[in-house]
Amino acid sequence: MEIVLKHVCLLALCCIFAVAGCNRGKSKDDSHIARPSDCESFEKIDVHLTIQNKIQPEYFEYNVTLHDVPKHQLIRHLELAAEKDKHFKFSSTYFPGMGYFINSINGLAGKWDPDQTFWEILNSDFAQVDEGASYIPNHEEFVVFNFTKSSH
Ligand SMILES: *[C@@H]1O[C@H](CO)[C@@H](O)[C@H](O)[C@H]1NC(C)=O
Ligand SMILES: *[C@@H]1O[C@H](CO)[C@@H](O)[C@H](O)[C@H]1NC(C)=O
């Protein structure tokens, strides 16, 4: 029976904690029974996202705070933000081996020719992150998607 339970857990893609929880089935103490959230292997963080366009009409700035979300690539947080606030609706292109490029946010798309505009991603220090939307934010980090113009 224990083996069957173990397999059920593995099939459900649960993590080590959940398997341990299943083993505890024979114990009367259920205070440590695995909950669904234990099945995620990601640390949970709070992250603040801002989208801002200060360079051309229609200007906008919107903030959203995500609580208790997996510490994961920013693109996943942007998905969660889009679920929460329609202004965060975005489109992106995935380049194998390179990651995600943000095409548009809130209906505003970067235009290389002739504007040289694009969505840059800034971390809490207002430094552009090299990984783009593949960047993994830290707990309580403020991330800004800033519509900008190339200076070159
Ligand atoms: C968004 O958050 C930033 C940073 O906390 C803050 O300076 C700004 O005033 C906020 N903007 C809006 C529209 O709430
Ligand atoms: C966002 O982009 C604008 C336009 O390029 C720029 O002036 C501004 O400094 C950027 N914001 C931050 C926080 O870097």
Q: What is the CATH number of the domain that holds 110?
A: 2.170.130.30
Query: Region 42-53: what's the mean pLDDT?
Result: 96
Closest CA to 75 of 13, 146, 137, 147: 137
**How far, in Å, is the centroid of ligand 1 from the Cα of 52?**
10
Name the token pair of 47. Answer: 């992250």
Give the model confidence (pLDDT) of 128-150 as tens digits.
999 999 999 999 999 999 999 99
CA gap 124, 142 in Å, rounded: 5
Confidence of residue 72 (pLDDT cuts 50, 70, 90): very high
Cβ(90)–Cβ(81) under 8 Å?
Answer: no
Q: Give how many domains the chain has, as a whole number.
A: 2
Pair 60, 130 in one domain: yes
Q: How far is CA 105 from CA 51, 91, 131, in A?
A: 8, 7, 18
Pair 28, 67 in one domain: no
Pair 23, 91 in one domain: no
Pair 6, 76 in one domain: no
* DSSP state string for 1-16: -HHHHHHHHHHTT--H
Cβ(35)–Cβ(128) under 8 Å?
Answer: no
Pair 49, 107 in one domain: yes
Q: Whose CA is nearest to atom 2 of ligand 2?
A: 148
Pair 26, 99 in one domain: no
63 C-beta closer than 6 A to ligand 1? yes
Only one residue has tokens 């700035």, namely 61
Q: Is residue 3 predicted with pLDDT exceeding 60?
A: no
106 C-beta closer than 6 A to ligand 2? no
CA gap 70, 150 in Å, rounded: 32
Give the model confidence (pLDDT) of 28-42 as tens digits.
444 555 444 555 568
Pair 78, 95 in one domain: yes
DSSP 55: S
Pair 8, 70 in one domain: no
- Give residue 75's domain range: 44-149
55 C-beta closer than 6 A to ligand 2? yes
Q: H or E segment at 122?
A: strand 117-122
DSSP 57: S
Q: From the alpha carbon of 62, which atom of ligand 1 is closest?
A: 13
